[in-house]
Amino acid sequence: MPSLDIVIPCYNYAALLPQCVGSILDHDILARGLDDLRIIIIDNASTDNSVEVARKLAEGDPRIRIVCHEKNLGPHASFNQAIDLARADYFMILCADDLACAHAISSGIQLLERFPNVSFVLGAYVEFFSDDTPPETHFRPAGRRLSHGPSFIERCCTGFEPVSAHAILVRTSMQKKIGHYRASLPYMDDLEMVLRLATTGMVAEVDCPLAIRRIHSSSSLSEALWDEKLGLLKEREAAFKSFFASEGSNMPDAERLHGIVRRALAEVAYWSAASHLFRQRGAEAASLFEYGYRLNRISMLVPPVGYLFRKQGAFKRIAAVVSRASA
């Protein structure tokens, strides 16, 4: 039977850590289909009692191990140490404030066992707010999608839909081959990671989450970034630029794909600039237009109407902007 390592980076999540670990061990759903399950908690010098909580959890279950940093080395140090520590057949990083969906992870492992040429599995994106009651995690996949790596990469380049990369169930040998997360990408390192992993084989996607993401009222990430469209576009551009400067450079149509990314980002910048201008936010609109013009001049000089038909909910968004501006 296969083996699985789940590594949990933790910083000041003492109150949430038992719930995270409990979601993995829920009714031993995972353990029944595994030869070995190992949970490694990496504490990044928490200032609360996270280490104490982790030790109590480990005392109650020999499958749980703890690594403690004396200094806060930043999240990438924990992510990359997790990769170094992985030794099982399959590997997954689960943030300490998120919840694992054991049924879905088990199904993902079955896919990896059945299809040796699949490098990793992604699930659907599901989130909940920290102040809300945690949702049920007993998701059972009803369908799955297998894609060749280049096809998956092109889909990521073409669209602007979020890639559910916050939880990746990966074949450990492929993760070791690709290597570490890049600290130069503080916000979209996970997107760049799945692009790199997709160069090693096929991609499996299941129609339910591998993990449920918890959204905090005060996020550890810069909320200003996610509220500011220009910042978000620049971060996405940086992720693809890094990919096409490394593993992606070996793709035969890398230049074409990178051009698709720039055009897609410019189209988003155009309509976002139009939205800001309509709401009388001229400075933001000018910055977005200048950014889009740098990426793809044609998309900024000729309205990219096709984007509105490709982007789900675009016309509803336009109607909402007009309605608010007219109120």
The residue-averaged pLDDT of 220-238 equals 70
Give domain status of residue 186, yes or no.
yes
Q: How far apart are CA 96 and CA 86, in angstroms?
A: 17
Both 66 and 185 in one domain: the answer is yes
Alpha-carbon torsion angle 224, 226, 227, 229, nearest 10:
120
The reported pLDDT for the residue numbered 227 is 47
Give domain status of residue 111, yes or no.
yes
Domain of 54, CATH number, reads 3.90.550.10
Which residues have a Cβ under 8 Å from the Cβ of 324 and sit 6 or more positions away? 279
Give domain status of residue 241, yes or no.
no
The residue-averaged pLDDT of 232-246 equals 95
Q: Which of 215, 236, 266 is the last residue of a domain?
A: 215
Is the pLDDT reported for residue 325 higher than 80? no
Q: Give the domain extent around 28.
A: 3-215
Both 20 and 143 in one domain: the answer is yes
Q: Which of 188, 215, 242 is the last residue of a domain?
A: 215
Instruction: Yes or no: say if 110 and 4 are a contact pair by the CB < 8 Å rule.
Output: no
Both 50 and 151 in one domain: the answer is yes
Give domain status of residue 61, yes or no.
yes
The reported pLDDT for the residue numbered 32 is 83
The reported pLDDT for the residue numbered 2 is 96
Both 210 and 256 in one domain: the answer is no
The reported pLDDT for the residue numbered 221 is 45
Q: Bigger pLDDT: 327 or 174? A: 174
Is the pLDDT reported for residue 158 higher than 80? yes
Both 294 and 150 in one domain: the answer is no
Domain count, the chain: 2
The reported pLDDT for the residue numbered 254 is 97
The reported pLDDT for the residue numbered 26 is 82
pLDDT mean across residues, the chain? 89
**What are the pLDDT digits (tens) for 241-261?**
999 999 999 999 999 999 999
The reported pLDDT for the residue numbered 226 is 39
Give domain status of residue 221, yes or no.
no
Per-residue confidence band for 133, with pLDDT thresholds at 50, 70 and 90: confident
Query: Which range (142-156, 212-226, 259-273, 274-288) has the least confidence?
Result: 212-226
Give domain status of residue 185, yes or no.
yes
Both 47 and 128 in one domain: the answer is yes
Per-residue confidence band for 316, with pLDDT thresholds at 50, 70 and 90: low
**What are the pLDDT digits (tens) for 273-309?**
988 888 788 898 999 999 999 999 998 888 887 776 6
Both 24 and 87 in one domain: the answer is yes
The reported pLDDT for the residue numbered 217 is 63
Give domain status of residue 224, yes or no.
no
Distances (CA, A) of 280 to 44, 229, 271, 276, 326: 44, 16, 14, 6, 12
Both 177 and 270 in one domain: the answer is no
Both 21 and 120 in one domain: the answer is yes
Both 204 and 257 in one domain: the answer is no
Nearest alpha-carbon partner for 54 in 70, 65, 44: 65
Is the pLDDT reported for residue 38 higher than 90? yes
- Most confident of the ranges 119-123, 133-137, 226-230: 119-123
DSSP state letters, 283-306: HHHHHHHHHHHHH-HHHHHS--HH
pTM of the predicted structure, to 2 decimals: 0.90
Both 189 and 272 in one domain: the answer is no
Give domain status of residue 235, yes or no.
no
Instruction: Yes or no: say if 289 and 273 are a contact pair by the CB < 8 Å rule.
Output: yes
Give percent of the chain with pLDDT exceeding 90. 69
Q: How far apart are CA 264 and CA 235, in angstroms?
A: 14
The residue-averaged pLDDT of 152-170 equals 89
Could you tell me the two tokens for 173? 């040998």
**What are the pLDDT digits (tens) for 171-199?**
999 999 999 999 999 889 999 999 999 99
Both 52 and 192 in one domain: the answer is yes
Roughly what angle, to the nearest 10 degrees, separates helices 229-245 and 282-295? 20
Long-range CB contact pairs, 298-304, < 8 A, 24+: 299/263, 299/266, 299/267, 299/270, 300/266, 300/269, 300/270, 303/270, 304/266, 304/267, 304/270, 304/271
Give the bridge partners for 121, in sequence order.
169, 204
